[in-house]
Amino acid sequence: MAEVSKWDEMRRHMKRSWGRGWKMFIHSKYGATGFAIILLFLVMAIFAPFLTPYTPHFEAPSIDSLRPYVYAFNSNAPVEGITIGYTQLVTAPSEGGSWIIINHGKSIQGIFTQDPKRVGSPNLEPWATNSLRFTLQLSSIPGLGPQETVTHMAFLAPSTSDLQYHYSGPGQHPNWDGEIVFTTQDHLVIYDIFNLMPNSQYSRMVVEPLDFTPTWVEVDTTSSGNLTSPVVYAPGAAVFPSRFIAVGDDYHMNVYWYYYTYSNDSYMPSAKNCLYSVLNAVYSEKIIEKPLLFYNDQLYNQNVSKDQNVIVVPLQTETIVYKGFDTHTFPLPFVTPGMLPITPTPHIVKTVFDFALTAELGYYAGAPDVGKNYIFLPSQENGAAVVYVMKPNGDSSGHAAVVDDWTMKMGNGVISAAPSVTYASGNFTVYNAKYVSSVDETYIYKYVKGASSSTFEMEPFTHTSTGAIEVPHKAVLLNNMILQNGEMLVVTQEKNKELQLYVLDFADYLRTGKMIVSPFMYYDNHTKKLEPFPYPQGGKLSFYTYMGSLSGTRYSPTASFDLYGLYYCSNTNTIGLVNPKGNNVLPLPPGKYFSGNTYILGTDDKGHDIWTWLVYGSRVAFIVGITAAFISVMIGTLYGVYSGFKGGATDTVLMRFVDIMLTIPTLPILLILTAILGPSIWNIIMVISAFGWAGIARVIRAQTLSLRGRPFVDAARVAGASNRRIMFSHIFPNVLPYSFLYMTLGVAGAILTEAALSFLGLGDPKAISWGQMLYSIQTAGAVMYAWWWLLPPGLAITLISTGFYLIGRAFDEILNPRLRKR
């Protein structure tokens, strides 16, 4: 007779009982239910990637989680134009804000706006929270004819260092500072808004007659001054308080130098004496875009090349650049009351470039590195879109020069919007919008020039075939991009239609590798829904501009990342503020979101899809539950069989040890053990099994005791079987059903313990487990409202443990017939 190995024996034993056991099992109410539940979770664990729309590392794009707000009001009088008065340059951010200045034709209205978030409720319109407002009637200005109306406006903003240096004494107010510069049919008017402050006794304005009807007015751009280098005229750091103003029509340009300075200086000359004409130009060609007056805060720095300041006049076939406006440095203080301390004596150098601009030019005005405030000139070369880069320092002869190596060429099309330029520690990033009329699409290219590189290199957006972000229709404005904010608003226009706003979220692109180009949506506080911009619905967007931060200033955008845009709808006469960044509302409740994603169970605070995590979490539950239970059952079975079989003193000692293990408070000890071993799934499994075997050992020992006295054991012994053989071949297979029973019960316990450890923050932080989900909801403080996040993991834990427990109960019934239904 062939020798029957113990495994054959065991197999036959198992096979014999298997069929009968399975039948009983599946007929048990418990068994069937438990089996169904476990099967369900098993399917989830195995087919997780097919059951989930996302990966566990997926994070909801910010378009889903951000709630951009819009604040708007309707203007009663017709609106002819809007400009922004950047003021409030002192350091107190809580008072920061800007004027919104509205041209009503016969009057000018100004409303001071502050960061609506600081003021409190986003329901409140920002202007409703501030009493700072004015109305300037044109009739109150002497020297203007009764028929004249305001045609164009600009705002002469005081510069930071200037104000920080000089705000003192009576007659000063940080909010009421700056000049409205506007044109009428026949005049240029410079009007100090301090005149308009309630109870102000101040009256300072210039009414300058013009010999043409102006069609544009411009005040120079400047950046915040942080002058650490000494300047000529002042012992400390200060900027000479003057600005250039240009006014013109299609063929004329008059440039003035205006000394605006501190209002309460007793040496102050009259306003009229502060305005100096420095250039009058007449062109034979038409001016096609508003000229740019570019001045830099390093203007007066004598230690470096001073000549960085330019006026760029775009004509029909050529572009003219003037330089040499910064030769007016004279010592302060004033020597003669009422007289200007200096006479500006520009030595103008004119450069003519033989290309025409196709859009407004771009520049960066904040680079602290002298000579790096480049000017970006969009043009066309043989039908291809190009952007030339001009160094404002110019060449040795004082002429402005384009750096040939830096030219960016983008192929067929035309640059339709001013390049958007950002700069950080020597590195330039430029976004160019190229419009291709044949497909009515705009392509936004990203170019980067490192501090040491010699060219602007295109950095392709890899998810598109062209390497550029594609935006429908013609882009007319690239909103300044603030790196910290990571977003850019693109204003586009379909032919002869209203403007449309698109939002590009670069932070999201960096995270997901995909840029979602979508029309801007805002969050309506009343309907609690995302609505298509603009507000009100049906409004025709006819004006949009970048407004900057309203808690600090335009000049220090880092003061707050809440950056605003200002818009106007012509058909509804609505003026409003746009806050594209809005509020982050993670975790997201279940629903379909704007990106097209549906989160059936919502997301957590990091934007992870709860359903995905729930499904993947079953893997950890199975791994931890089954492994830990298996190990502890194996330990317990071997221990119990050995103890029961040996009997005597060994048994007593071993069982007393089991008693001790059973009385030990397990959880506190598991806590400290996992703290020592470090958070990892395998450590948790080890720790759980190390403390879970004692109960099993006791039961198995009792079974072994009863088996030990059975005739078949005696028979085996008589046949000469060794102790080991009896234990493994005769007793072990017979106690195995009990081991299996306790294993199924143990799985439930292990899953619960893992969840508890994870919940206390001792779990594997990299593992996707249900306990971890509950841990993060508590740390995120979302328990009080995020039911979609709170309920699923707990229910899953409950269900899977119940499933295993029910299977155990069914086994119990099979093994203990008395439990069966009578």
Partner 1 sequence: MAGLGPYLVKRTIQAVITIFVVTSLIWALFEAMPGDPTDQFFGNPNYKAEDIANMAVSFGLADKYIEHLTAKDFTQVPASEIPNANQQFTYYYTILKYNTNPRALSFTMNETYQYGNKTVQYGVYVFSSSEKVPLNQIYLQNSSTAPVPPQYKYHWYVYDKLGRSIQSVGVLPKKYDYILIEIPLKNVPISSHMKIALLYVTDKPMVERYLYFLKDMFTFNFGISSIYHQPVSNILAQRVPRTLLWFGLATILTYAIGIPLGTYIAWRRGGAAEGAVIGTSLFFYNMPSFWLALVFLWIFSYSLGWTPINGFASQGYTGIGSTCATLGICPGNPFYAVVDYGWHLILPLTVIVLLGVAGVILLQRTSMLETLGEDYILTAKAKGLPEKVVRNKHARRNAELPIITSFVLALAYAIGGAVILEQIFSYYGVGYTYLQALFAQDYFLAGATLFIISLLVIGGNIIADILYGVLDPRVRLQ
Q: Does 126 bind partner 1 (CB under 8 A)?
A: no
Q: Is 361 in the site for partner 1 (CB under 8 A)?
A: no
Closest CA to 501 of 558, 446, 566, 447: 566
- The reply on whether position 787 binds partner 1 by CB under 8 A is yes
The single residue among 793, 807, 810, 814 that binds partner 1, judged by CB under 8 A, is 793
The stretch among 293-301, 583-591, 665-673, 711-719 that binds partner 1 (CB under 8 A) is 665-673
Task: Determine if 663 is a binding residue for partner 1 (CB under 8 A).
Answer: yes
* Closest CB to partner 1 among residues 61, 808: 808
| Nearest approach, Cβ of residue 123 and partner 1 (Å) | 24
In angstroms, what is the minimal distance from the CB of 698 to partner 1?
11
Using CA atoms, how far apart are residues 765 and 14, in angstroms rounded to an integer? 41
CB of 671 to partner 1, least distance (A): 6
Asked if 760 is part of the footprint of partner 1 (rule: CB under 8 A), the reply reads yes
Beta bridge partners of 268: none
Q: How far apart are CB 622 and partner 1 at their closest, in Å? A: 16
* Position among 628, 777, 807, 814 found at the interface with partner 1 (CB under 8 A): 777
State which of residues 304, 339, 715, 783 lies at the interface with partner 1 (CB under 8 A).
783
Nearer Cβ to partner 1 (191/759): 759
Name the residue type at position 402. Answer: V
Q: Residue 652 interacts with partner 1 (CB under 8 A)?
A: no
- Residue 439 makes contact with partner 1 by CB under 8 A: no
755 in contact with partner 1 (CB under 8 A)? yes
Structure token pair of residue 792: 């699923």
Q: Rule CB under 8 A: is residue 509 a binding residue for partner 1?
A: no
Min. distance of Cβ 618 from partner 1 in angstroms?
15
Q: Is the dihedral of CA 123, 127, 128, 129 positive or negative?
A: positive
Q: Which stretch binds partner 1 (CB under 8 A): 39-47, 333-341, 707-715, 750-758?
A: 750-758
In this structure, how many other beta carbons lie within 10 angstroms of the beta carbon of residue 7? Answer: 11
- Number of residues located near partner 1, criterion CB under 8 A: 45
Task: Please tell me whether residue 802 binds partner 1 under the rule CB under 8 A.
Answer: yes
The distance of Cα 731 from the centroid of its chain, to the nearest Å, equals 65
Among 790, 807, 810, 814, binds partner 1 (CB under 8 A): 790
d(CA 187, CA 211): 9
CA-derived radius of gyration, the chain: 39
| Residue 797 lies near partner 1 (rule: CB under 8 A) | yes
Regarding 653 and contact with partner 1 (CB under 8 A), the answer is no
The CA-atom distances, in angstroms, between 781 and each of 344, 587, 590, 605, 756 are: 62, 11, 18, 10, 18
Q: Which is nearer to partner 1, 495 or 818 (CB)?
A: 818
Cβ distance to partner 1 smaller for residue 232 or 675: 675
Please report whether residue 784 would count as binding partner 1 according to CB under 8 A: yes
**Which residue from 120, 668, 711, 720 is in contact with partner 1, where contact means CB under 8 A?**
668
Window contacting partner 1 (CB under 8 A); options: 279-287, 349-357, 434-442, 671-679: 671-679
| 805 near partner 1, judged by CB under 8 A | yes
Q: Which residues contact 260 (CB under 8 A, 6 or more apart)?
A: 156, 158, 179, 192, 241, 242, 243, 274
Instruction: Single out the segment in contact with partner 1 by CB under 8 A; choices: 204-212, 528-536, 560-568, 660-668.
Output: 660-668
Looking at 232, 335, 451, 791, which residue binds partner 1 (CB under 8 A)? Answer: 791
Does 255 bind partner 1 (CB under 8 A)? Our answer is no
CA gap 519, 442 in Å, rounded? 14
Exposure letters 739-762 (e unless 16+ CB within 10 A, then b): bbbbbbbbbbbbbbbbbbbbbbbb
- 801 binds partner 1, rule: CB under 8 A: yes
* Cβ distance to partner 1 smaller for residue 241 or 602: 602
Among 9, 369, 659, 714, binds partner 1 (CB under 8 A): 659
Asked if 220 and 243 touch (Cβ cutoff 8 Å), the reply is: yes
Among 370, 699, 756, 815, the residue binding partner 1 under the rule CB under 8 A is: 756
Q: What's 139's DSSP letter?
A: G
Contact 465, 483 (CB under 8 A): no
Among 18, 660, 706, 714, binds partner 1 (CB under 8 A): 660
CA distances from 595 to 13, 272, 391 (A): 59, 57, 42
Burial of 583: CB neighbours in 10 Å, binned 0-12, 13-18, 19+: middle
- 676 near partner 1, rule: CB under 8 A: yes
Of positions 631, 684, 748, 750, contacts partner 1 by CB under 8 A: 748
Contact assessment for residue 394 and residue 381, using Cβ atoms and an 8 Å cutoff: no
Paired with 488 in beta bridges are 504
Pull the structure tokens for residue 578. Answer: 């746009």
Find the part of the chain contacting partner 1 (CB under 8 A) among 191-199, 427-435, 458-466, 757-765: 757-765
Strands lying side by side in the sheet with 310-314:
292-294, 310-314, 319-323, 349-353
Q: For residue 679, state whether it binds partner 1 (rule: CB under 8 A).
A: no
- Note whether 223 binds partner 1 by CB under 8 A: no
Q: Give 38's contacts (C-beta < 8 A, 6+ positions apart).
A: 800, 803, 804, 807
Q: Which is nearer to partner 1, 668 or 711 (CB)?
A: 668
| Burial readout 192-213 (b: 16 or more C-beta within 10 A, e: otherwise) | bbbbbbeeeebebbbbbebeee
Cβ atoms of 485 and 435 closer than 8 Å? no
> Counting contacts by CB under 8 A, is residue 32 touching partner 1?
no
Q: Is there binding between residue 688 and partner 1 (CB under 8 A)?
A: no
By CB under 8 A, which span of 14-22, 103-111, 189-197, 658-666 interacts with partner 1?
A: 658-666
* Binding segment toward partner 1, per CB under 8 A, in 253-261, 325-333, 406-414, 773-781: 773-781
Residue 339 in contact with partner 1, rule: CB under 8 A: no
10 Å Cβ neighbour count for 519?
A: 14
Range in contact with partner 1 (rule: CB under 8 A) among 91-99, 500-508, 632-640, 798-806: 798-806
The residue written with tokens 């002298």 in the block is: 370
- 3-class DSSP string for 658-688: HHHHHHCCHHHHHHHHHHHHCCCHHHHHHHH
CA dihedral 352, 353, 358, 363 (to 10 degrees): -90
**Minimum distance, C-beta of residue 96 to partner 1, in the bound complex (Å):** 32
Tell me the CA distances in angstroms from 256 to 45, 188, 277, 281, 297, one per residue in order.
Answer: 75, 11, 4, 12, 18
Tell which one of 489, 752, 767, 810 touches partner 1 (CB under 8 A): 752
What's at 418, amino acid-wise?
A
* Closer of 40 and 517 to partner 1 (Cβ): 40
* Residue partners of 358: CB distance under 8 A and separation at least 6: 378, 379, 380, 385, 414, 415, 416
Q: Is 461 in the site for partner 1 (CB under 8 A)?
A: no
Binding residues vs partner 1 (CB under 8 A)? 656, 659-660, 662-669, 671-673, 675-676, 748, 752, 755-756, 759-761, 771, 774, 777-778, 783-785, 787, 790-791, 793-794, 797-798, 801-802, 805-806, 818-819, 821-822
